[in-house]
Amino acid sequence: MDFKGRRYHAAKEPGLKLVLDAGFSCPGRCTFCDNAAFHPSYSTPDKSISQQLDEGIAFHTARGRAGGQYLAYFQSYSNTFAPLARLKEVYGEALAHPAVSGIVIGTRPDCVDTEKLDYIASLGCARIEYGIESCRDETLKRVRRGHDSTCSEWAVRETAARGIPVCGHFILGLPGETQETLLEDVARINALPLDIIKFHQLQLLKGTPMETEYASRPEDFVRWTLPEYMDLLADLLERLRPTLAVGRLAASVPPRFLAVPGWGVKASEFSRLLDQRLVERDTWQGKLYSR
């Protein structure tokens, strides 16, 4: 185990990410989703890409987080859900900005095709982040995801085959899933040619269909305390292949969006507590991994 002082393979970004909203949409809306909870105030579709980038740089500079080069992060909604000509327009505007060295494209597995992937590969400076959310078709159907696990596997493999760095997002705690099923699914995740993985706990957001579902069937949801979640992450990391970089292990949204209160722990404290728990258990990423 050698992760440069950490007990898991933490992903390293080549620049600070500037969140963008290019006005894209999605082919459907999942029961857990409220996109407004996940992007900063400067990122709104009424502004041009260039204006959002300039305001994003000013936003981070004012908080002492200025960087020499930045990544344009197309995060809101599905950022390949548009004709190829539109993708070329918005990606091109971002890459024309003098402070931008690359782009990160957040999208869904059912919103790419070979033509779009060929174009993204030709840019040579793009990463795709897929919202996979679950390995289980019954879960994907229940949350109205609109695609199945076969679609996710196709998208990841086709993206990796073109040399595009690829990240997969998964939500821990979707209805019907348990700690046991999540640990079983690690083998399927390990088999995918992912470069980066992002996990985060399910957050129940106000006004979503999942808020109503949770109120009527709370027994279908696993809700972890913070110590319990630390142990879940330790169990997952032990089984995760060591070459898979970890981009995120938890997430937070402003409290006003939450139907059920979160843990109220800042990111730095969360990282400290997780590192402490891994040391206590004398474990690390890949400890139980076998090909």
One pLDDT digit (tens) per residue for the chain, 291 residues: 667 678 999 999 888 999 999 999 999 899 999 877 667 778 888 999 999 999 999 988 888 887 778 999 999 899 999 999 999 999 999 999 999 999 999 999 999 999 999 999 999 999 999 999 999 999 999 999 999 999 999 999 999 999 999 999 999 999 999 999 999 999 999 999 999 999 999 999 999 999 999 999 999 999 999 999 999 999 999 999 999 999 999 998 888 999 999 998 998 899 999 999 999 999 999 999 987
Contact 188, 135 (CB under 8 A): yes
Q: What is the pLDDT of residue 154?
A: 98
> Which pLDDT belongs to residue 63?
84
* pLDDT confidence of residue 290: 86
Single-letter amino acid code for the residue at 105 = I
- pTM for this entry: 0.95
Domains detected in the chain: 16-202+236-251 (3.20.20.70)
Inter-residue contact 167 to 129 (CB < 8 Å)? yes
pLDDT at position 1 is 62
Contacts of 136 (CB under 8 A, 6+ apart): 149, 176, 177, 181, 185
- DSSP assigned state of 193: -
Instruction: State the residue for tokens 């597995």.
Output: 109
- Strand-pair partners of 102: 71
Q: Which of 102, 69, 88 is nearest to 22 (CA)?
A: 88
pLDDT of the residue at 34: 82
What pLDDT does residue 37 have?
A: 64
Distance separating alpha carbons of residues 96 and 218, to the nearest angstrom: 49
What's the pLDDT score for residue 113? 98
- pLDDT number for residue 134: 97
What pLDDT is stored for residue 204 in this prediction? 95
The rounded radius of gyration (Å) of the Cα atoms in the chain is: 19
> Residue written as tokens 């099923």?
181
